[in-house]
Chains A and B, each alone.
Chain A
């Protein structure tokens, strides 16, 4: 079966972000960028399905600026066979991304699409669900385990009270939770080989997709700072402060 994996270029997860002085957005100039951690897990799972003989081809796709090709090359180095870059400099919201991906799904006809459960920049947690809706497919969100059997997919999901297992009809859409797998590192020879793998570039216009949505970013501000606290010298002092100063225990 064919697997499509969507990846996103985001700020590196270790970076302490800065809000622009005019509060229009977060400042991304000269900031280290990387593949979204949940997307790395999606790529890893697709590559594992290929190694297990379940998947025959893994196609990586991204929607974003020219620089996002770096993340596609990373996916290729990790084991994807080819890549599709839908290039745009517009701000892409989840719905716009899902519409582009739905077109790619229509063209590529993958049996399984794997995405991360959320991007660590917008923290939306929407695109996979929207893609499933737009393509009329079943969804297995927040997956911590996947099993492909015949024309069915068994997905274990991380839900609020614990774990839930569902059986989905293929083709389906899955989004990854952190515990699905431990992504590998790309080795240097694989990074070199990845440079020769096919990477198609398209535009949303070519796909006939209007990505602009009706959600306007009015402004971005830093969160309220917490007051600096105090260090206490002993457990006694801690209990005393909690009882008599903070009054949060009795």
Chain B
């Protein structure tokens, strides 16, 4: 078995998700190479070489791979895939964008967002917003897979894999980068945070999300939101937790003013401990919450902040 892991990186930094995807690769077994594609990604390659279990880091550093657009990145992966039995990426927006392109170009199926490795060709993945777990077996010679990072523990660092350049350069006449608007935050990344506190429609407005700030500061938590809160314009969409937003599995998830719709639960029900604060005693969120507090959040939140 030989496995290629597509490194996840942003702003010249290796994303935490990569260490989780390498762990999924180790569960499959075999030699693991990491591909770092982008522009000016030397530091990313060094960080990837540091991950336990990585045999080799391959670096495609070229302007055409800047912003990791799907068209050139897909071509690059196609050019490299013949050396491997498995190609893995995090089920991030980058992985979801490019991996099906690779799969189609190699005429194989793609297995999305695996949560467990049964064997080198058999995997578990959630379907129907996480309300069922499917076991799928791939008879394709090449397995193209995205990995739910929260389902695998990160590998440790401290190794030193070889780093080598990949000279493959492809053309891209199809797409070009225009710009981006990234949400600024000093808090931990939502997908990797140990503690997440999320607000829903019950927060009432965007201004009230400030009530979560003090608690998040004290707990070192990331702040999330339900779709209702995003759609109502309270907070930007990259804070959304759920089937259509981010999947999180922190040690502690605090849901405030969130009813607990199926789509929201899909994004957080694998959290270790779930706390719900809601004034509606019948809210479905209480069925999955380890600790439920039936209370008005406008009274409970300031009190919680003060007592932490």
Contacts and interface: CB of A to CB of B under 8 A. Distances in A.
Interface of A: 11, 13-14, 16-17, 19, 26, 93-95, 98, 117-118, 120-134, 137-142, 144, 154, 157-169, 172, 177-179, 213-223, 226-232, 234-236, 238-239, 241-242, 246, 248-249
A215 B112 contact: no
Nearest to A126: B100
29 contacts: A14-B262, A26-B132, A123-B112, A123-B129, A125-B100, A126-B112, A129-B70, A129-B98, A134-B104, A139-B70, A141-B96, A142-B93, A160-B93, A160-B94, A161-B180, A161-B183, A162-B180, A164-B179, A165-B178, A167-B176, A167-B178, A214-B140, A220-B132, A221-B132, A223-B132, A235-B295, A238-B291, A246-B273, A249-B308
B162 interface: no
Query: SS class of chain B's interface: helix, strand, loop or mixed?
Result: mixed
A134 B111 CA distance: 18
Nearest to A141: B97
B97 A129 contact: yes
Contacts, number: 255
A241 B290 CA distance: 10
Interface of B: 10, 67, 69-71, 74, 92-94, 96-105, 107-113, 122, 126-140, 173-183, 191, 195, 219, 227, 230-231, 236-238, 243-244, 246, 251-252, 262-263, 269, 272-275, 286-295, 300, 303-304, 307-308
A90 to B, nearest CB: 14
Contacts of A234: 293
Contact of B180 (A13, A125, A165): A165
B78 to A, nearest CB: 9
Nearest to B190: A160
B178 A166 contact: yes
